[in-house]
Amino acid sequence: MDFETFHQRIIRVERILITIIVMVGFFMAILDTTIVDIVVPKMMGPLSTDLYGIQWVITSYMMAAATGLLFTENFARFIGYPYTFITGLGIFTISSFFCGTAQNLPQMIFFRVVQGLGEAFIAASAQTILIASYPPQRRGLAMGIFGLGVSFAPALGPTLGGFITEHLSWRWVFFVNIPVGILNFLAALLYLPKELGRSKIFHFNYLSYLFIAVATTSLLIMLSKGQQLGWFQSDLILILLFVSLIGFVLYLLSELLSKKPLLNLSIYKIPEFGLPMGMHFFTLGFGMYQIFYLLPLYYENLKGLTTFQAGVHILVFACFIGTFSVISGYLSDRFAPGRILLFSSLIFIFTSYYLIPQLNYYTPAWKSSLLCIPLGISMGTFFAPLTAISLRKLGPLTGLGVVLMHYQRFVGGSFGTALATNHLEYYTNENFLRITELQNYGIVKQFLQEKTYFAEKFFSGELAEKKVSALLYKAQYVQALSWGFQETFRAVAFWGLLGFLFLLALFLLKSRGFLKMRASIKLFKAKSKLKT
C-alpha cells in the first residue's frame, strides 16, 4: 500500500482508531522505561543483587532497543509497518509478564532484553503508521499527538512509578502492561491496515549490522558504567571506548563498500532532515533527558520527598508538556514549524540557564514546580515542529527517518544521563571541598564543642562527638549538593544552545539571500563552462 496516498483510503473514524491504537502501544512502551528507573532500588532484595548489578536491568533494555531498531527498518518494509507494530506489541506484553515473575537477576536481564526488542518494533512502526494516516496538511497535529509519548511519558513516569512503589509491589510496574497490551494487541489485529509499507523484499547487510550493533552495545555499556568504574581510569571503559570507535569505523567502511547498505545514510544530506536531527540529538538527548533524570533526584535526594511526592510535583511539569505538545502540533499545520521550534529553543535555553538553576535546598517544593512550567512549555513545543520539518519531505524514506530518530534518542539520552550523573557528582564534590577550605577552624571547633556538650545529655561522650561531626558533615554535604544541582542544571543550557545552532543553519540555508547566492554560483559555473 502506497505510503503517500494511504491517508486518502481511510475515513475519519478509522484514522481516530489507528491513532488511539498506535499511541497506546507507544505510550506504554516509553512510560515503562521511566517507571522502571524509579522502582529499580526496590528490586535489589527480591533479585538478590546490589546497586551495580541492578543497573543491568536498565542497561540491557536500552542496548536491546537501540540495536533492535537498526534491524526493524528492513524488517518493517518486508512484513509491513502494522505487522511490525503488532509483533512488537506481542513481544513487549509477553516479556512484561515474565519480567514481573522474574526470580533472579539473570532472568530479569534476559526478559528485559526481549522487552527492549519489543519496544524497538513498536517505536520503528508507530510513528510511521501515524504519519501515513494523516494528510500532509495535518501531520503536524499527528506529531503533536505522538509527542505525548516522546516527551510526556518520560515526565509522567516518576508520578506513576512513585504511586506503584508506595502502594503496590514493584512487580506491578510490569504486570500493569499485560491487560493494556492484550487489549491493544487485539485492537491492532482488527483495525490496523495490514499492507501499509509492505514490500515483501528483505535486504539485510549482516556484516554492517554486526559492526554497528557491537559499537552501539559497547558505547551504551561504557556510558552506563563509566561513573561506577571511574571513567577513563578504568581499563574496561577504555576497552569499551576502543571497541565502540572501531565498530563505528568498520560499519562506515562496510556501508561504503557494500552494494546493499544496511541504512541509507545519504538521508542526512537532506537539509530538512540532517540539520533537525542534529538539533534533536543534542537538545533532546544531551539536554532534555538530563532534566528528566535530574528532577526526580532533586526532589528525593535534596528535598527529601518520597518517590510519590516527587512524582506529584513533577506532574505539573508533565501536564504542560502534554498540553503544549498537542497545541504545537496543531499550530505546526497552520504556521511555519520552524518559528515554533525557534520559540521552543529560546525558552529552553532561557529556562535551563536562568530559571531551573534557582532550584536549591531552600526552594519550596511548590515553587520548584512552578519554576518548571516554562520548561514544560519548551519541551512540549519541541517535538512536533521538529518532526514536521524533518519528516515532511522524506516520502518512502519516512520509515528510515523514524528509525534513525529513535536510535538517536536512545544514544543521545544515554549520553545525557551519563553527563548529568558525572556533572552532579563533580560539582557536588568541588563545592564540598570549597566549603571545607573556606571554614574558620576556630569557629568550627567551637561549634563542635558546644554541640557535643548538648549531645552528651543523650549519648555517651565519644558517640556524642561522632553524632555532632556527622551532623556538620551532613549540613555541608546538603549545601554542596544544592549548589551541585544548580550548576548541573545550568550546564544543560549549553546543549540547548548547541542544538539551536543547527536550527540557525537550517534557517540560513533556506533564507532568500542564501538561495540567491546559490543560484548566482550555479549561473556563474554554467557561464564558465560555455566560455570554455
Going by pLDDT thresholds of 50, 70 and 90, the confidence category of residue 4 is: low
Q: What was the pLDDT predicted at 90?
A: 94
**Confidence bin at 518 (pLDDT 50/70/90):** low
Reported as half-sphere exposure (CB side, CA atoms, 13 A), residue 347 has a value of 18
pLDDT, one tens digit per residue, over 470-506 is 777 788 888 999 999 999 999 999 999 999 999 999 9
Query: What's the pLDDT at 51?
Result: 62
Q: How far is CA 296 from the centre of its chain?
A: 15
pLDDT tens digits, residue range 8-29? 777 888 888 988 898 888 888 8
**Mean pLDDT throughout 225-237?**
82
> 386 or 196: whose pLDDT is higher?
386
Of the given ranges (21-25, 230-234, 441-445, 525-529), which has the lowest mean pLDDT? 525-529
Tell which wins on pLDDT, 200 or 347. 347
Contacts of residues 98-107 at CB distance under 8 Å and 24 or more positions apart, as own/partner, are 99/174, 100/171, 100/172, 100/173, 100/174, 100/175, 100/178, 101/171, 102/47, 103/46, 103/47, 104/47, 104/48, 105/47, 105/48, 105/49, 105/53, 105/54, 105/56, 105/57
CB-neighbour burial class of residue 441 (10 A; exposed 0-12, middle 13-18, buried 19+): exposed
Q: In the predicted model, what is the mean pLDDT of the chain?
A: 84
Cell numbers linked to 12: 475519519
Residue 445 vs residue 249, higher pLDDT = 249
**In the prediction, which pLDDT does 342 show?**
92
Strand boundaries in 338-449, DSSP class E: none
Distance CA 125, CA 92 (A): 14
CB 523 within 8 A of CB 379: no
CA angle 510, 148, 267 (to 5 degrees): 35
pTM: 0.84
Confidence of residue 197 (pLDDT cuts 50, 70, 90): low
Q: What are the residues whose beta carbons fall under 8 Å from the beta carbon of 508, sequence distance 6 or more?
A: 514
